[in-house]
DNA sequence: CGATGCTTTGAATATTTTCAATATTTGTGG
DNA sequence: CCACAAATATTGAAAATATTCAAAGCATCG
């Protein structure tokens, strides 16, 4: 069995040991490489016949708009991540996706995905697993917003992003490059942008972490994890369950 | 093709037109009917080899504990709902499940589910769809906690529960029976129990909704939906995508 | 009927937002 | 490479929102 080097194959392969047919079917999903500029939505809440994507380069975010004009960012996507899957399964999208930076992504049409599941049925189980992993992240995000204060939320968020980025070979224990503005952080963490600024100042003054000029630098990652109550098990790959 | 009357078959059938084999395979998942008393967890955060369940009677909730001893309820389950799916896919559970009332549920072992996927591969796609629908609810919950105030959150929550209950034939436009205490509501909505009480008083005084002695009564459901910014599309079934 | 859990209310405090103003950084065209 | 405009970050003060602590009133169920 050959090793595929697409991020998607690597991710799914950690759950299901993929056969050659399955690998080929996966690779076929990567025709239709697209580029998008930052800030212009590529999946639209309420629209039908939207595609899903696998992100290859750059950062994006999924969010929902509220009647008052505010929004809540549900999730950030980094290279190797899926997005827009629900737009396929529900025919019409319940959320928006906006590139945070300029991005490159493979577009996956509804029929592509359903055909792939027909050709290689175990892929459906693998995608179910990947989607559940994403759901676990949303759940942890929910817990953060529901029960952690500003500092704890920020700490947890930065640690989670760091762990996710390290899984795809970006950043290290000292920190990571981060293209998010304080407005984006606010929309994600359920805070005001002003408060995000104050929270970052507090964490900086306490010698825990610095976020300046697009770079997150950890000064005391253990104290930060302690503050956040951070437990990365929900991100861990354990080795394939399906053989 | 016969019509199966299990809630699971009805739910998955709204996404995939199920064949006889698929229906039989589904029904086989309903051996192992279990009863549980209220308040005693049946899925445990951090434990491995946990089962998933399909709820037949009663209400349950999924939640996560935090280091400080507080908890965040992620989701309530009502008859027909799945829970503990992630405990199977990840071998170890990242959350707890507690019966709110006494419940009856069918236990589904990891091997049961994976065998069923092998025997009837389209079931995996159907379960992916159902899991995505659950994820959409968690996302809406996240949005609520992140960007709505106490009154809006409560309004949204009550409307969502009403819509979900009506899908399984419980309650109507005038209201529904609800076994949740203000403590449970607080843990779900990311508020304190005291504040939940004040929020309910405000909604009652404003003539929108009354929640007393286990019964939710809508007085002005349109105004309530307006206040909450409630849009039920994320709960809608559209008719099967897979034939 | 008595114990227990749930609901209700008040008052003081903590957290977060909003509004407003001022720095700083970044990107762009000349 | 500089100057300028736009975007982003920072700070203060007042107001809104929600929490905590404490106490009392109601249900409910054996």
Domains and CATH numbers, chain B: 7-137 (2.60.120.10), 148-235 (1.10.10.10)
How many Å does it take to go from CA B176 to C1' D27? 20
What does the pLDDT read at residue A1? Answer: 46
Across the interface, whether the CB atoms of B229 and A85 are under 8 A apart is answered no
Residue A21 pLDDT greater than 70, yes or no: yes
Interface of B with A in 131-150 (CB under 8 A): 131-136, 138-143, 145-148
Percent of chain A clearing pLDDT 90 (strictly above): 83
Count interface pairs A-B at CB distance under 8 A: 144
What does the pLDDT read at residue B7? Answer: 82
Q: Which residues of chain A make contact with B189, given a CB cutoff of 8 A?
A: 146
Q: Which residues of chain A make contact with B128, given a CB cutoff of 8 A?
A: 89, 124, 127-128, 131
Dist CA B6 CA B219 (whole Å): 34
What is the mean predicted confidence (pLDDT) over A140-160? Answer: 96
**Positions of chain D reached by protein Cβ under 7 A:** 7-13, 17-22, 27-28
Q: Which residue in A15, A74, A241 is closest to B142 by CB distance?
A: A74
Residues 182-211 (B) near nucleic chain D, CB < 7 A: 190-192, 194-195, 198
Judged by a CB distance cut-off of 8 A, whether residue B47 touches chain A is no
A8: which 2 tokens? 């998607």
Q: What is the pLDDT of residues A57-75, one digit of tens each?
A: 999 999 999 988 899 999 9
Residue A76 pLDDT greater than 90, yes or no: yes
Query: What is the secondary structure of chain B as a DSSP string?
Result: -PPP-SHHHHHHHTTB---HHHHHHHHHTT-SEEEE-TTS-SB-TT-BSPPEEEEEES-EEEEEE-TTS-EEEEEEE-TT-EE-HHHHHTSB-SSEEEESS-EEEEEE-HHHHHHHHHHSTHHHHHHHHHHHHHHHHHHHHHHHHHH--HHHHHHHHHHHHHHHHHHTT--BTTEEE----HHHHHHHHTS-HHHHHHHHHHHHHTTSEEEETTEEEES-HHHHHHHHT--GGGG---S-SB-
The 3-class secondary structure across chain A, one letter per residue, is CCCCCCHHHHHHHCCECCCHHHHHHHHHCCCCEEEECCCCCCECCCCECCCEEEEEECCEEEEEECCCCCEEEEEEECCCCEECHHHHHCCECCCEEEECCCEEEEEECHHHHHHHHHHCCHHHHHHHHHHHHHHHHHHHHHHHHHHCCHHHHHHHHHHHHHHHHHHCCCCECCEEECCCCHHHHHHHHCCCHHHHHHHHHHHHHCCCEEEECCEEEECCHHHHHHHHCCCHHHHCCCCCCEC
- Longest CA–CA span in chain B (Å) reads 56
What does the pLDDT read at residue B4? Answer: 57
What does the pLDDT read at residue B202? Answer: 95
pLDDT values of chain B reduced to their tens digit, one per residue, 243 residues:
444 578 889 889 888 899 999 999 999 999 999 999 999 999 999 999 889 999 999 999 999 999 888 999 999 999 999 999 999 999 899 999 999 999 999 999 999 999 999 999 999 999 999 999 999 999 999 999 999 999 999 999 999 999 999 988 899 999 999 999 999 999 999 999 999 999 999 999 999 999 998 999 999 999 999 999 998 888 876 667 777
Q: Kindly indicate the confidence band of residue A237, based on its pLDDT and cuts at 50, 70 and 90.
A: low
Across the interface, whether the CB atoms of A138 and B134 are under 8 A apart is answered no
The reply to whether A2 has its C-beta less than 7 Å from any atom of strand D is no
What is the mean predicted confidence (pLDDT) over A89-95? Answer: 92
What does the pLDDT read at residue A4? Answer: 57
Q: What is the pLDDT of residues A9-20, one digit of tens each?
A: 888 988 889 999
What does the pLDDT read at residue A200? Answer: 97
Average pLDDT, chain A: 92
Judged by a CB distance cut-off of 8 A, whether residue A242 touches chain B is yes
Q: Which nucleotide is nearest to A212 (CA to C1')?
A: D9
What is the mean predicted confidence (pLDDT) over A153-168? Answer: 95
Q: What is the pLDDT of residues B132-164, one digit of tens each?
A: 999 999 999 999 999 999 999 999 999 999 999
Interface of A with B in 149-188 (CB under 8 A): none
Distances (CA, A) of B160 to B51, B76, B224: 27, 11, 11
What does the pLDDT read at residue B6? Answer: 83
Are B170 and B78 in contact by the 8 Å Cβ rule? The answer is: yes
């Amino acid at each position: 069995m050959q090793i595929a080097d697409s991020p998607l194959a690597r991710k799914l392969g950690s759950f299901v040991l993929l056969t050659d047919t399955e690998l080929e079917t996966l690779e076929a999903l990567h025709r239709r490489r697209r580029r998008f500029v930052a800030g212009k939505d590529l999946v639209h809440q309420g629209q039908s016949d939207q595609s899903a994507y696998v992100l290859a380069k750059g950062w994006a975010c999924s969010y929902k708009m509220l009647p008052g004009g505010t929004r809540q960012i549900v999730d950030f996507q980094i290279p190797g991540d899926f997005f827009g899957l629900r737009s396929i399964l529900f025919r019409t999208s319940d959320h928006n996706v906006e590139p945070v930076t300029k991005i490159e992504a493979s577009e996956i049409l509804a029929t592509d995905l359903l055909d792939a599941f027909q050709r290689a049925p175990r892929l459906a189980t693998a995608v179910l697993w990947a989607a559940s992993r994403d759901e676990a992240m949303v759940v942890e995000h929910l817990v953060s917003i529901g029960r952690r204060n500003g500092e704890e939320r920020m700490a947890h968020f930065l640690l989670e992003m760091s762990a996710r980025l390290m899984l795809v070979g970006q950043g290290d224990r000292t920190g990571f490059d981060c293209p998010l503005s304080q407005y984006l952080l606010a929309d994600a963490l359920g805070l005001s942008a002003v408060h995000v600024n104050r929270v970052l100042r507090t964490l900086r003054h306490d010698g825990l972490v610095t976020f300046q000029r697009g770079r997150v630098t950890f000064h005391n990652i253990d104290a930060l994890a302690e503050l956040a109550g951070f437990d990365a098990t929900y991100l861990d790959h354990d080795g394939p369950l399906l053989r």
